[in-house]
Amino acid sequence: MPDLSDDELLAELGVEVEQAKERRYTAREERIIAGFEDIVRFFEEHGHAPRHGEDRDIFERLYAVRLDRLRTLDECRDVLIGMDEHGLLRTEEGSPPAHTDEISDDDLLNELGIEPTQDDDIRVLRHVQSAEERRSAEDVANREKCVDFAKFKPLFEKVQQELDSGARETRSFELKAEIRPGAFFIVSGQIAYVADMGDVFTNDQGRSDARLRVIFDNGTQSTMLMRSLQRALNKDDAGRRITEPEAGPLFAGEAEDGDQASGIVYVLRSKSDHPAVAEHRQLIHKIGVTNMAVEKRIAGANLQTTFLMANVEIMAEYRLFNISRSKLENLIHRVFGDAQLDIEVPDRFGRMVKPREWFLVPLSVIDEAIERIKDGTISNYRFDRETLSLVAD
């Protein structure tokens, strides 16, 4: 007798098999679930349920108020009981009553600069996106309070003044390359500032990505991925990039009162054992611009194709003030463009990558180019590959 499946055996016994029906949730139930998922995520990250208290983070206090409501409303408990694997909806016997009147969602959101809705029904979980809405917002919604916002606030005020005066403009977002430290964008109706960018890496899809620190003008921040910000800008019909103002003097060697630090031009020499590098090691240099300490920028160089998958040596640093880092970097690469090193190296997955920013240029010539950038005469010169020197154009 052939083997029968479970369903066939039940049929032989005259037992009807009832197909389980997938439950469909209302829009309000979706929001209840989405709000609870935020609390579960907090518990898994911190090891405890969100707590009340003035010393607690603003979002933890918001989650604590939300959890109190979920615990006390039978409707919410009925929806969530099967999802509460951590027992967050249980209250210990003898525990004090929930402090739902300690601070309201609206009070908390006012501190964040978010406008409350007009619906005052306590049974409605306001300010909670549905699962679909939250997926589309991705990392942009995963923000926290920016504890050092005071140092960024003047930047936002200045950008707004420059937008009002016409010194800056808003334009459509087009390229991922526009996402870099120091850049401003408008996303989800707020001005966003890319304060920092970590090391570039290759994601599981074989695409370059990097972790950003993005500050928003409402005093929050997010450590999102570069591609997450790119997707958010592309999905947002009102998403825009904010242009740089017209630059004044391009380069300053010394800071003066009121100068805003912009970054560092760094020159590196590779310790790679690649034959082409080993043969011309004294001539091959990477020229880049960064807004962080160079030592931090080159951390893990041996794991990054941009550094030829090898450790590097810092040969020179030049500090910048009141300039556009991207414009300066483009200028340097234009001057030495004919001397760009043609080399390919395998990344960690064996894929061949052609790094940029490496040039066959003597260190003394790079130093001369920086000096000519300072005095504004660089546009009159070009790099000659035959003589390995700057010559009058």
Query: Per residue in 169-224, pLDDT tens?
Result: 888 877 666 788 888 999 888 899 998 888 888 776 677 788 899 999 999 998 88
What per-residue confidence (pLDDT) applies to 300? 83
- The verdict on domain 144-242 having CATH code 3.90.1150.10 is no
The residues, any chain, with a CB within 8 Å of residue 305's CB and separated by 6 or more, are: 345, 347, 353, 355
Supply the pTM of this predicted model: 0.39
Helical pair 363-374 and 325-335, crossing angle rounded to 10 deg: 130
Examine the pLDDT at 365 and tell me if it is beyond 50.
yes
Rounded CA gap, 347 and 312, in Å? 17
Q: Could you give the 3-state DSSP secondary structure of residue 196?
A: strand
Tell me the range of 3-12, 60-69, 122-131 where mean pLDDT is highest.
60-69
Confidence of residue 14 (pLDDT cuts 50, 70, 90): low
What per-residue confidence (pLDDT) applies to 17? 47
Range scoring the smallest mean pLDDT among 95-99, 271-275, 368-372: 95-99
Q: Any idea how long the chain is? A: 393
Instruction: Give Dmax over CA atoms of the chain in angstroms.
Output: 97
Higher-confidence position of 277 and 84: 277
Backbone CA torsion sign across 115, 120, 121, 123: positive
Range scoring the smallest mean pLDDT among 144-158, 231-245, 315-329: 315-329
Examine the pLDDT at 101 and tell me if it is beyond 50.
no
Examine the pLDDT at 312 and tell me if it is beyond 70.
yes
How would you classify residue 230: left for phi > 0, otherwise alpha for psi between -120 and 50, otherwise beta? alpha
Q: Could you give the 3-state DSSP secondary structure of residue 53?
A: coil
Mean local confidence (pLDDT), 85-109: 56
Examine the pLDDT at 228 and tell me if it is beyond 50.
yes
What per-residue confidence (pLDDT) applies to 271? 92
What per-residue confidence (pLDDT) applies to 177? 66
Higher-confidence position of 20 and 308: 308
Calculate what percentage of the chain has a pLDDT beyond 70.
73
Mean local confidence (pLDDT), 324-335: 77
> Which structure tokens are listed for 292?
């962080």
Range scoring the smallest mean pLDDT among 74-78, 273-277, 314-318: 74-78
What per-residue confidence (pLDDT) applies to 86? 80
Domain coordinates in residue numbering, the chain: 27-133, 144-242, 261-392
Confidence of residue 114 (pLDDT cuts 50, 70, 90): very low
Range scoring the smallest mean pLDDT among 90-99, 202-211, 271-280, 299-308: 90-99
Amino acid at 27: A
The tokens 């990039």 sit on which residue? 241
Amino acid at 371: E
Higher-confidence position of 318 and 269: 269
